[in-house]
Amino acid sequence: MPRRCLLNNLGLVPYTLAWEQQRSLVAQRIADPSLDDILLLLEHPPVYSLGQGASLEFLKFDPAEVNWEVHRVERGGEVTYHCPGQIVGYPILNLRYYQQDLHWYLRQLEEVLIRVLGVYGLTGERIPGLTGVWVEGFKVAAIGIKVSRWITMHGFALNVCPDLSGFERIIPCGIVDKSVGSLDQFIPGITVAEVLPLVVRKFAEVFEVEWEEVRG
């Protein structure tokens, strides 16, 4: 039987609210591992996030001197940027029901996004030693996770049609020799609303889950 996963499509959500919701959901599932998994899908207003061990040298600005929103969080990885036009997915999964293997989980998240790109005839690529998905040398999806007692949080960000200028203020993911891109470079006019159902469908395929949609 496929495992049930709750689907919560939240729309545009401030970073701190989504972060707080994730931590609450994880705490609930650590206390009661029988609770259903859940996938939060959303967009964020412009915000920078740094992984717990991320280096400030990858910021091209002094966060003390600007009013851009910056948060250091408990995920792995370096600095990244979120903004409208980007699909952000935060899976809260109990990996005991899948595979207790973080590398497997990262590759599964990449596979979801590679399959989404394939619907549009785009070839999503992995780069050995790095995490994320590239198309023709442009990084279109970033991934950063945290796992506590095999419960996952944070997740992936797929650049559909964002304003990429915010990435110019950082060295994204600490990778100096790779450019950030988006799907609308290859498919002009593509929208988040169009891609979102594909992310849902491909996530269900890859993780072999059945959805139950929830609100709020």
pLDDT for residue 216: 66
- Binding site for substrate, by residue number, is 75-82, 142-144, 155-157
Of residues 16 and 179, more confidence is placed in: 16
Give per-residue pLDDT as tens, 69-99. Answer: 999 999 998 999 999 999 999 999 999 999 9
Average pLDDT over residues 146-173: 95
Q: CA–CA separation, 48 vs 187, rounded Å?
A: 26
Q: 127 pLDDT exceeds 80?
A: yes
Token pair for residue 109?
């998240």
Domain at 3-214: CATH code: 3.30.930.10
Q: 195 pLDDT exceeds 70?
A: yes
Q: 176 pLDDT exceeds 80?
A: no
Token pair for residue 116?
């989404």
Question: Quick one: angle between helices 102-119 and 192-207, nearest 10?
Answer: 130
Q: Is residue 173 flagged as an active site residue?
A: yes
On average, the pLDDT of the chain sits at 95
